[in-house]
Amino acid sequence: MELELKKSKLQKAISMLDSEEDVNRVEKYLRRMTRREQPPCQFTVEELRKELKIAEEEARQGLGCTTEELRKQPPCQYTIEELKKHLEEAEEDFREGRYYTTEEVRAYFHKKYQI
């Protein structure tokens, strides 16, 4: 019953929208949500703070690149078939336990390049 009440409230809220732009945005969002097989990545506040701290430190160290620099890079040079093959290989590696955590990769590069 609670689900029906929530749906009813959403319908009422949508009916109160008075601009086509707002209706289009809600429609686009709902379409994306109903097509999604899994929910979007959701971090806890603490996880977001940790990632932000890491990103800020990397920026202070001059790691990464600007949006303009990124746009200058050539587009992906793999075909869809090649990308699918690489993805299948990566999924197999993951299933077999052949992977590293982000922390392990960072530690490796920090040690290797003394950064």
pLDDT at 7 over 80: yes
Provide the domain limits for residue 101: 45-113
Q: What is the DSSP letter of 37?
A: S
pLDDT class of 30 with cuts at 50, 70, 90:
confident
Report yes or no on 40 lying in a domain.
no
Residue 99 tokens, joined: 């992977």
> Taking the model in full, what pTM does it have?
0.31
| CB contact set of 86 (below 8 Å; sequence gap of 6+) | 78
> 87 and 53, same structural domain?
yes
Report yes or no on 52 lying in a domain.
yes
> 72 and 102, same structural domain?
yes
pLDDT, one tens digit per residue, over 40-74 is: 667 788 988 999 999 899 888 888 888 888 888 88
CA angle 77, 82, 87 (to 5 degrees): 115
The mean pLDDT value for 73-100 works out to 87
Residue 51 tokens, joined: 């990632």
Q: How many domains does the chain have?
A: 2
pLDDT, one tens digit per residue, over 66-85 is: 888 888 888 878 888 899 99
